[in-house]
Amino acid sequence: DAGLEKTKTNFFEQLSKAVVGKNTVDEAVLDDLETLLVHADVGIDTTVKVIDRIEARVARDKYVNTSELDRILREEIVALLEDNKSGSTAVLDRAGSTGQPYVIMVVGVNGVGKTTTIGKLAHRFHSAGKTVVLGAADTFRAAAVDQLIIWGQRVGVPVVSHGMNTDPASVAYDAVQKGVEMGADVVIIDTAGRLHNKVNLMNELSKIKRVMQKVIPDAPHEVLLVLDGSTGQNAFLQAKEFTKATEVTALAITKLDGTARGGVVIGISDQFNIPVRYIGVGEKMTDLQLFDRHTFVNSLFK
């Protein structure tokens, strides 16, 4: 998997170094593995869980050969991800199945790749034959509105926009309304992510929700939080703040092509118990993958 090559190579090389000259998985090997996982941004809580699971296995099997360590590591991480909700159903399969547009509200701070992810998602749905409407409700930055319009043109889907500094809730309302009028399958709403003002953020997101519910009572069907996978602990902090501000139902983790720290995906989905739906592996329209825990863990630790 080309997109995740960097993450994979680094982890694999380091793991091999950690076990070189050793036959059996002992305390020292587990210590090294623990350090490796923390450096890969798995996060301390999740790392401890993974190490505990491997320790339990070593205790049970008495003797575990180091040559088996990466297989065991993979199995235990997949098992851990199975324990929480990170196994996901593709939104694509559900979109348009209810007769109403499937509304996705996209949240996240500036610079994480929110607009790009929306563009990629629009492309994904559009090329699967779905009708898509975008709503430019990140009215706080002129660039955000312009960029979304460019993405709309690139993909070939309409963008509802009232320009900069207009009421985001009103944009969201009109976009959902347009989706209904067009008989669209999916409506994707961009929002502003101003974390430095938590009360405003919370109010703005709940107002956007309230207003779209006047058109479709159970909207939004998905609140997708976009996180930059290369920012490690910052991504954890953002997840913490956004889950406090609104009910996040899924994650998209971007920029995993340029980082050796893909472990953040495991840590965040475990810690927040929110499914990772998509991963971003580049800047192009097609550089968005549906997250699958088996594929992901295999490409990380192969």
Residues that bind ligand GDP (CB under 6 A): 108, 110-116, 147, 254-255, 257-258, 280-283, 287
Nearest CA to 182 out of 96, 290, 62 is that of 96
Measured from the CB atom, the residue of 48 and 237 that comes closer to ligand GDP is: 237
| Among the listed residues 11, 91, 92, 77, the one whose alpha carbon sits nearest the alpha carbon of residue 46 | 77
- Minimum gap (Å) between residue 143 Cβ and ligand GDP: 8
**Residue environment code for 51-90, b if the CB has 16+ CB neighbours within 10 A, otherwise e:** bebbeeebeeeeebebeebbebbbbbbbebbeeebbbbee
223 in a labelled binding site: no
Contact 84, 199 (CB under 8 A): no
Q: Is 130 annotated as a binding residue?
A: no
Name the strand (E) or helix (H) holding 163: none
Q: Toward ligand GDP, which CB reaches closer, 73 or 279? A: 279
| Residue 69 annotated as lining a ligand binding site | no
**For ligand GDP, the closer CB: 193 or 275:** 193
Known binding residue 32? Answer is no
Angle at 272 between CA 194 and CA 29, to 5 degrees: 120
The identity of residue 62, as a single letter, is K
User: Do the annotations mark residue 255 as ligand-binding?
Assistant: yes
Nearer to ligand GDP, 100 or 246 (CB): 246
Residue 287 C-beta: closest distance to ligand GDP, Å: 6
Q: Which is nearer to ligand GDP, 84 or 243 (CB)?
A: 243
The answer to whether 156 is annotated as binding is no
As a whole number of angstroms, the longest Cα–Cα distance in the chain is 67
**Binding-site residues for GTP, please?**
108-115, 190-194, 254-257
**Binding-site residues, please?**
108-115, 190-194, 254-257
